[in-house]
Amino acid sequence: MQVGELSTPALVVDQEAFAFNLATMAAARPGRALRPHVKAHKCTAIARAQRAAGHTAFCAATPRELIGLARAGLGDDLLLANECLDESRLRALAALDARITVAVDSEATINAAARDGIGECLIDINVGLPRCGCAPDDAGRLADHARARGLVVRGVMGYEGHVVGLEDPEDRRSRCEISMTGLLDAHSVVGGEVISGGGTGTFDLNPWVTEIQAGSYVLMDTAYGAIGLPFRPALRAVATVISVSEKFAVADSGLKAFGMDHGNPKVEGGEVLFCSDEHVTFRRPRGERPHVGERVLLQPAHVDPTVAYHETMWLASGPGLAARIVDEWAVDLRGW
Amino acid sequence: MQVGELSTPALVVDQEAFAFNLATMAAARPGRALRPHVKAHKCTAIARAQRAAGHTAFCAATPRELIGLARAGLGDDLLLANECLDESRLRALAALDARITVAVDSEATINAAARDGIGECLIDINVGLPRCGCAPDDAGRLADHARARGLVVRGVMGYEGHVVGLEDPEDRRSRCEISMTGLLDAHSVVGGEVISGGGTGTFDLNPWVTEIQAGSYVLMDTAYGAIGLPFRPALRAVATVISVSEKFAVADSGLKAFGMDHGNPKVEGGEVLFCSDEHVTFRRPRGERPHVGERVLLQPAHVDPTVAYHETMWLASGPGLAARIVDEWAVDLRGW
Specify if A116 maps to a domain.
yes
A278 vs B39: CB contact, 8 Å cut-off? yes
Q: Same structural domain for residues B134 and B256?
A: no
Cα–Cα distance, A295 to A210 (Å, whole number): 44
- Alpha carbon of A130 to those of A134, B208, B270, B273: distances in Å? 11, 51, 16, 9
- Among candidate residues A213, A239, A273, the one where a domain is terminated: A213
pLDDT at B24 over 90: yes
Task: Quick: pLDDT tens for A92-130.
Answer: 999 999 999 999 999 999 999 999 999 999 999 999 999
Mutate which of A42, A157, A245, A303 to test chain B, going by most B C-beta atoms within 10 A? A245
Average pLDDT, chain A: 97
Is residue B51 a contact partner of residue B72, using CB atoms and an 8 Å limit?
no
Specify the pLDDT at position B52.
98
Same domain, A175 and A45: yes
The tens digit of pLDDT for each residue in B105-155 reads 999 999 999 999 999 999 999 999 999 999 999 999 999 999 999 999 999
pLDDT at residue B287 tops 90: no
In a domain, B268, yes or no: yes
Share of chain B above pLDDT 90, in %: 99
Kindly state whether residues A96 and A178 are assigned to the same domain. Answer: yes
Are A75 and A167 members of one domain? Answer: yes
**Looking at the structure, do residues B128 and B269 belong to the same domain, yes or no?**
no
| CA dihedral angle for residue B29, residue B35, residue B40, residue B41, rounded to 10 degrees | 90
Q: CB contacts < 8 Å between A and B, how many? A: 152
Q: B8 and A336: CB-CB below 8 Å? A: yes
The structural domain count of chain A equals: 2
- Look at A255 and B261 and tell me if their CB atoms are within 8 Å: yes
The pLDDT of A6-35, averaged and rounded, is 98
- Residue of chain B nearest A305, judged by CA positions: B256
Residue of chain B minimizing CA distance to A253: B336
Q: Give CA–CA dist A53/B51, Å, rounded.
A: 54
**Out of A85, A252, A279, closest to residue B242 by CB:** A85
User: B146 with B249, same domain?
Assistant: no
B304 and B159: one domain? no
Cα–Cα distance, A320 to A175 (Å, whole number):
38
Residues B73 and B187 reside in one and the same domain: yes
The per-residue pLDDT for range B33-55, each reduced to its tens digit, is 999 999 999 999 999 999 999 99
Domain interval for residue A235:
3-11+231-330
Task: Give the integer Cα–Cα distance in Å for A72 and B287.
Answer: 45
A119 interfaces chain B, CB cutoff of 8 Å: no
Q: What is the pLDDT of residues B214-250, one digit of tens each?
A: 999 999 999 999 999 999 999 999 999 999 999 999 9
pLDDT in tens, A221-269: 999 999 999 999 999 999 999 999 999 999 999 999 999 999 999 999 9
Please report the residues numbered 172 through 231 in chain A whose beta carbons come closer than 8 angstroms to any beta carbon of chain B.
none
**Is B73 a residue whose pLDDT tops 90?**
yes
Write down the pLDDT at residue A326. Answer: 98
Q: Are residues A115 and A238 in the same domain?
A: no
Q: In terms of domains, do B242 and B286 share one?
A: yes
Distance between CA atoms of B159 and B17, rounded to whole angstroms? 26
The pLDDT tens digits of the residues spanning A178-203 come to 999 999 999 999 999 999 999 999 99
Contact B7 A88 (CB under 8 A): yes
Is residue B298 over pLDDT 90? yes
CB contact under 8 A, B106 and A135: no
Position B288 in a domain: yes
- The answer to the question of residue A22 being in a domain is no
* B175, B246: one domain: no
The CATH number for B266's domain is 2.40.37.20
Residues in chain B: 336
Task: List strand residue ranges (DSSP E) for chain B, in order.
Answer: 10-14, 57-60, 77-80, 100-104, 120-124, 152-158, 194-197, 211-212, 235-244, 249-251, 266-267, 271-276, 279-283, 295-299, 312-317, 324-330
Residue of B61, B133, B275 with shortest CB distance to A277: B61
Q: Is B19 a domain residue?
A: no
- Which helix (DSSP H) or strand (DSSP E) does residue A267 occupy? strand A266-267
| Contact between A292 and B248 using a beta-carbon 8 Å cutoff | no
- β-pair partners for A274: A281
Residue A57 has pLDDT above 90, yes or no: yes
**Which of B261, B281, B311 is closest, CB to CB, to A335?**
B311
B288 interfacial to chain A (CB closer than 8 Å): no
How many angstroms separate the CA of residue A98 from the nearest CA in chain B? 23
Question: What tens digit of pLDDT does each residue of B196-220 get?
Answer: 999 999 999 999 999 999 999 999 9
Q: Do A240 and B85 touch (CB under 8 A)?
A: yes
Phi and psi (nearest 5°) for B88?
Answer: -65, -35
Residues of B in contact with A240 (CB under 8 A): 85-86
In a domain, B335, yes or no: no
Residue A222 lies in a domain: no
Domain end marker among A184, A213, A242: A213
**How many C-beta atoms surround the C-beta of residue A135 within 10 A?**
14
Give residue B194's pLDDT.
Answer: 98
Position B313 in a domain = yes
Minimal-distance CA residue of chain B relative to A308: B256
What's the CA gap between B242 and B282, in Å, rounded?
A: 12
Neighbours of B16 (CB within 10 A): 14
CB contact under 8 A, A243 and B131: yes
pLDDT (0 to 100) of residue A287: 84
Q: Which of A187, A213, A239 is the last residue of a domain?
A: A213
B193 and B270 inside one domain: no
Q: What are the chain A neighbours of B256 within 8 Å (beta carbons)? A: 259, 304-305, 308
Evaluate whether ipTM surpasses 0.90. Answer: yes
